[in-house]
Every structure is written in structure tokens, then in C-alpha cells.
Structure 1
Amino acid sequence: MVTLCYATTGAPVAGAAEGPHGASGPPNIVFIMADDLGWKDVGYAGAEFFETPHIDRLASQGMVFTAAYSGGPNCSPTRACLMTGTYTPRHQIYTPGGKSKGDPRYMRLLVPAVGRKNKDLEALAAAQFPIRNSLDPAFVCIPEVLKTAGYTTARLGKWHLGEDTQGFDLSSADGVGGPEGSFYGNIHVAEKLTDRALQFIEQNRDSPFFLYLCHWDVHSPHRARAEVVEKYRKKLDSIPRDQRKNFNPVYAAMIEAVDTSVGRVTDTIDTLGLSENTLIVFISDNGGLPSVSQLDPLRGQKGSLFEAGVRVPACMRWPGRIEPGSTCDTPITSVDFLPTFAGLAGAELPSSQPVDGTDLSPLLEGQSIAERSIFWHYPLYLQGRGLTIDLPDGGRYSWRGFPSTSMRRGDWKLIEFHE
């Protein structure tokens, strides 16, 4: 079977692209990531309640990827896959905190687990199970690769890979220079991150830059500006009760905050005359939660290797390179971005580590890449609605995430459950 990208024209994308940094200068790269945004929670993908006019505009001006996947079913592994270009068994980051979550009594496989009372058993699990809480600094990451090609790099927002910034020239979790920490539920952080992003773009407009803008939204706890929440409450009130599904005004307001950020960044790129030499990527770090996201008809959720846990919204814009209104059905995943960005920048891939991803440059001009398999590995447990097991006492227990390995090739997907 052959999957195609639909576009009518496009200039060659091999090597460094032409642009304002020189007759054959490398492009600026802006990578915007939402947190826990479901695959269908944007307007262009069919959102019924949420409003994303700026993301939709970005999609209409570029290419929509209908089979985009995260490298893992939750935050940390996806970000490690993205930064290193390697799958989870190589960097050994599988989940925030590095342990299974749920009742250890119902875990048939011995893996590290939060709350296990038998400390000797937990020590044995940790000793035989290679897992990390933070990224090994020995890995060469995207900013380090791009800096060899003359890029200035910035990481604004959620990092979730430990203390090492892996070569970023600018690094801030809150947009104002604060230390790495948690900003979930902070209703102002999206605006502050965007303010700092615009400043970075302005300051580096005359040389190639890489901006990694990672929003804390729309991760729980769900909080947003009162006036925006009220807007969606009124919208919800106008919908007949039997058509409301799980529409959540607070979640909708958080999505709007991310959308506003995308609009501000895109407008700044355009105003500064950088659009034709800037690749903008918008994507989510994993699937959404069924309590607030529109996941049908896909099975699963964040934390699961079923489709809704790892399928994500994704679009890219690069005027003059990517055909406006184009669509690509070829599966792509987080590990592909390091080799893609290296290729566009004219930089060498790291020789100290394998790179599992594929350069996506041909897809951007409507061409094809060789068919391949895409892999996921999640060897831990995560409590939540999903796979239900029967207990000896007649009760039942559910796992959202389950020790499993998965692959997709063509139209087929295999999930092996290791119990």
C-alpha cells in the first residue's frame, strides 16, 4: 500500500533552504507544542465546540498531517523522542517519575511502582528494569545539532526531561526566566511564554533560529481566564442538552489560549517578513483525556498505546515550500523531527547515537518517503479507565496504560500486551 501527500507544486527541499539569511541560508524553525490536546480538538480536524481560528489558518496555509503520532502516550517520553530522534527503549524515559502508577498488587509483571510496600521487591524491580527520570546529557539533541549550523536556540515552556537544557541558548519554563518547575493551571503562563517568544524572534530575525515553544496548556488542572470561560459557558447554554457531549467551557478556554499564542507567533513571523524562510510546526505531545477531549471514533486515551492515546493533531506551514491546503496521510512521529531539522539546516546527524527517525523533507513538497514501521514501547502500568481485569474477590480493576509494545505499518497496527 502507498500513502500519499496531496500537493500540487513545491520547490526542492533538499539541503539548506534559500532565504533572507543568505542566498542559500537555512530556515528558521518554530516548533509549537500543546500539552494533552486531543487529535480532534482543533477546528480543522472537526472540533464541534472548541474554537481554533489561528491554528486552522496555519493549517490552511500549509499541510495537515492526518496520521501524526507522539513518540509516547504521555509527556516525558514524547519529548525525549523528539529531542533525541530515538525511540523510548534507547533513552529509557517512559513516564514522568519513572514508575508505574496504580495498585502494585494487581501488577503481574515486576516493574517499578509508586506505593509498593515491599521495599526489597521494589529494589529488585528497579535493579532489573532500566528506566530514567531525566534525559541522559550524553544524548545529542535538536538544539545541539542546529547550533553546529549557526542557529540560535530557545526553549520556552515545559521541558519535563530533567535539569539539563541540552544546549539551548535561552531556557525558561515560565517565560520570565524562572527556574524549571510546574506551571499547570497557571492562567497567565501561555501569554508570558508567547511574549518572550516574540521577543526572541525579534532579537534573532537576522540569523537562523530555532524556537521550541511548549505550552503547559491544556494539561490539567483545567483553569482559564474567567471572561473566556464565560464565553464558552454561554455557547454551551445555546446547545441543546442532548447534543452537548462532554463539552467543557474551561478546557475550551485553555485551547483558545494556545490558539491565541499560535496566532501571535504567526502574525509576528509574517510582520517581520520572515514567513518564506520559516517553518512553523504545531503539534500535541500525546492524546487527550476522554473527560474533556473529543476522541471518537478512536479507542484509548492519554496513557494508552491505542490510537487515541498517541494520535495527535499536527500541521506545518512554510510559504513557498509547502503547498497551502495540502494534506499528508503518511504516518509521522516524534523521532522524525531531529533528522528533518538537521537536513533542512544542512547539519550533520549525531554520530554518537543512532537516529530512529526519518527525514520528512520530501513530504513537505508532496513527495513520498519509503514505507516503514513506527514503534512504541510502554512497559509500565497506569491506573485509569481502559483494560479491565477481574479480581479474585469478584471485584474489577482497570488500567489505562498496560505493559505493551506496538507498531504500525501501512494501515495495520499491532499491540502486544506483555502479561
Structure 2
Amino acid sequence: MKQNHRLPPSPPSLPIIGHLHHLGPLVHQSLHDLSTRYGPLMHIRLGSVSCVVASTPDLAQDLLKANDLTFSYRKHTLAINHVTYGVGFAFAPYGPQKERVNMTEELLKLTNNVISQMMMSIRCSGTDSEADEAKVIVREVTKIFGEFNVSDFIWFCKNIDLQGFKKRYEEIRARYDALLEKIICEKEEMRKREQKGKDGKRKDFLDLLLDVFEDKEAQVNITRNNIKATILDFFVAGTDTTAVTTEWTLAELMNNPHVLEKARQEIDTVVGNKRLVNESDIPNMPYIQAIIKESLRLHPPIPLLIRKSNANINVRGYNIPSGSLLYVNIWSIGRNPQHWESPLEFKPDRFLEIGGSSLDFKGQNFKFLPFGTGRRSCPGVNLAMREAHVVVATLIQCFEWNHVDDKHGSLNMKERGGLTIPRAVDLVCLPSLRPNCPNIFP
């Protein structure tokens, strides 16, 4: 049913141009003249643009004070957009800028900062910092670690670099080594200064490793290469995997808006809009937990669990010789229709139903092994899951999400190869603050 809007008085108009023919070179004078005839509050149409003209102090107060938020934007013309490069502050829309955000890069930066801060007390700065370089190297490491190198499998090719792998991994190693040497040397100099000044600064993980390295009476002796390798282990295990999990989860939520809305309702009920969600809220959010589990089912951080046997064994009547590689396809298991109903659908509710609610990612149920199982399961699962739950819940709580990845309505969910399985294309979004976010952000 069409609504009738009562607009302020208006002069006669013409088709298409509206009231443009009433305006002379001095627009303010033309509007003044019109207001003397049609009143202090007047409606005009400039082409297809609706305009309201106020010409008295009391109307100015009503419109600019009582409705301050409503009229907080400024006029934006083609000239303004061009001359200010489209990003000028003075004419920008009121509120947070709505612009494209590469969530692939931002999530990787976030997880990298968490590990960098824990390990070495450094952070990504957006410039050429050590943490930024570490982030780039880690992604290159996870990519080359998951690629198939013929020289690893055909014995007479062992010393032949058929695919250029040797050149690549030597270059990665050289860059990583130089970076770690720089960081370690800076840390050693800092420790010397602090020791002289008797500074009681809190230690990071690199400090603890150097304590053992420098202790000649330590029960376990470690080398400088041990330190570098340990730090690389933490970066590879704790940076790319967590970022990939969070990115896939966000992508699935944008492809399934009913799931996103249900998650948002749970967060609003448990947390409200007066504060940000925090880690202690997660146990009270079963649906958020189910979303993470469902994302891990469809997109395990490492799709293939690879082991190597050290003895001859017999499994179901088959002999498996010592030295055999074992590939457990966690990705395939999570999509097996014999174990999962509608396996290709993103249905977090399956983890809330009887039989699904008891499934966790600790490796006790072999149809759900996102972090492996047994003595070589991922040691960082608790840290990764604490981080992923809080990050995903915060992104849901604070932002509306729109993607710019695909023109056909759904995100491109193709995968890229490597040790981890990131999306084939970066996740680029147009996030905007939810209406209740002014109550959350100062």
C-alpha cells in the first residue's frame, strides 16, 4: 500500500529537472527569495534529489540539534569526490568508513601478532617490521610444506631440482634465518642492558629459550638452530592455521545468513550491547561453538594427517612395511555421507543434536579429527580454539558483513593447495558497524 508523505510547501516544478529552473547563480539568494513566498521550511526537488530548505533559527535548531545524527552526513558531489581523491575527511560520511577490507590479510596479521607477541614481544606495524616479514615467510612455508616435490619420492631425482623446490626452500630458509638472527641479536642486547640495569621485565618465550641456551648447567642443551626451529614451529602451527580457520568460518557465515543471524541473537542474549564478547562468554554460547566445529569439519586447518611408520604392521589383513607414509584424509572424512548427514551443507545444528553435542576436537572421535589425534596431535589446539572463538564471536557481534568476491550472490569457496588449505582467493569484505556498536566502542 502506497504511503502518503506530507512534505513541506513547494514551488511549482517541471518534469525531470524539478525546481532547478528557480535557481540562479547565487543559490543562497534564490532560496531566500523562494522562502519568502513559500515559507521558512520548504521542499524542493533538484532533478531527482529531494531537498529541504530551512531559513529560521528555530528550524535550524530542530534540524541540526534534535536530529544531529540524522543530518550528520555532508553533501557529496562528483567534483568533491574527484578533487578529494574520494577519501577526503571533511566530506566523508559520518561514522566509520565503509571500505573494502582484505580479511585474509587482516586475520593473518591478527594471528601473527598473537604469536609474535608471545614468542618475541614484537607486533606487525603495517611497515617493514620483523613481525610483518615473519607473517610473509610463514605463509610461504605452509605453502611449500604442502606441495608435492618429485625429488622427495623418486630416488634417482633426489639431487635433481626438477621443480625448483630447492631454490625456493633455500631462499625461504635464508630469509627466515636472517630474520631470526636479527631478532635474537636484538633480544640478547636488550637482555644485557636489562641485566645491567636490574630491570624486572616480563619474559617472553624467546627469553625462556635463551635462558636455557645460556645456562651451561641446564639438563637439556639447546643450540641456536634449536631456538630458530622451535620459533618456526610455533609460527607455522599458530599463525596460518588459526587465520585460515577463522577466514573459512566467516566465509561460511556470509554464505549462510540464517546461521549468522542465529549466532548474532545468541551473542546479543548472552553479552548484550554494553561490552565486547570475551573468552569467559564462550562456554555460554553453544551455537558459536557449533559454528566453529562445523567449519572445522568442512575446512580442517590441515587436510591431510601425514605420518611415517617405523615398523612393519598388519592392518585388516594388509601388510604395511616400515617406512611407509600414512595420509589420513581428514578433509574427506569430514565430508563422508556415511558418517555425516548432508555432508556438504554448513549445518552447525548437527553439533547440538543428540550424538553431535559430544563431539569435540580432542581426537577421541575419528570421524572428526581437525587437529589430529594421539601423541602427535596438535599441541596448540587450546590456544587456537580460544583465539578462533573470540575472534569469530567479536566479528559477528560488531559488524554487518558484505562480500565483494562474487557477483552471483555467493562467495567463491575454492581452495588453494599447501600444508594448510586457505581459500583460493582472498576474502575481501565490506564490513559496517552494527547499529548497537556505538554502545560498544568508545
Could you say whether these structures have the same fold, taking a TM-score greater than 0.5 normalized by the shorter chain as the test?
Answer: no
1 or 2 for the larger relative contact order (CA 8 Å, sep ≥6)?
1
TM-score by length of 1: 0.22
Which structure shows the bigger proportion of residues in helix conformation?
Answer: 2
TM-score by length of 2: 0.22
